[in-house]
């Protein structure tokens, strides 16, 4: 089963790496998450260089089916957030060699 990475784990790692206090790191990260949420609620695209982008898309109304009973029901149209990974993240996940010195530094060994 895949491991889950939490906000607390990210905060601890960032505090350790930067030498800042965990409280300072968490305050900055909460501010960032808040701004990302506001941007998405305003239907703006959020681009995180070398990581990916988050974009709001609309899903049309469709017919769903209960897998247990087979009965059909209407699924209302809605907005959803879609993550598109960057080329650098795709390459890192596929094990492709790093293209730049910066990529070699940030890519796990």
Please identify, in words, the CATH class of the domain defined by 7-83: few secondary structures
Compute the distance between CA of residue 96 and CA of residue 90 in angstroms, rounded to an integer: 9
> What digits encode the pLDDT tens for the residues 51-79?
999 999 999 999 999 999 999 999 999 99
Question: Token pair for residue 85?
Answer: 């990974």
Question: Token pair for residue 88?
Answer: 């650098």
- Cα distances from 55 to residues 73, 76, 96, 98, in angstroms, run 28, 20, 26, 27
pLDDT by residue for the chain (109 residues), tens digit each?
789 999 999 999 999 999 999 999 999 999 999 999 999 999 999 999 999 999 999 999 999 999 999 999 999 999 999 999 999 999 888 887 766 645 555 655 5
pTM over 0.85: no
Domain extent listing, the chain: 7-83
What's the pLDDT score for residue 96? 74
């Amino acid at each position: 089963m895949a491991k889950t990475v939490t906000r607390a784990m990210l905060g601890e790692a960032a505090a350790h790496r930067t030498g800042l206090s965990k409280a300072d790191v968490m305050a900055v990260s909460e501010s960032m998450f808040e701004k990302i949420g506001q941007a998405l609620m305003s239907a703006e695209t959020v681009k995180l260089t070398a990581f990916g982008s988050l974009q709001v898309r609309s899903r049309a109304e469709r017919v769903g089916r209960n897998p247990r009973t087979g009965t059909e029901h209407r699924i209302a149209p809605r907005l959803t957030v879609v993550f598109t990974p960057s080329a650098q993240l795709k390459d890192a996940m596929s094990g492709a060699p790093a293209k730049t010195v910066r990529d070699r530094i940030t890519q796990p060994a």
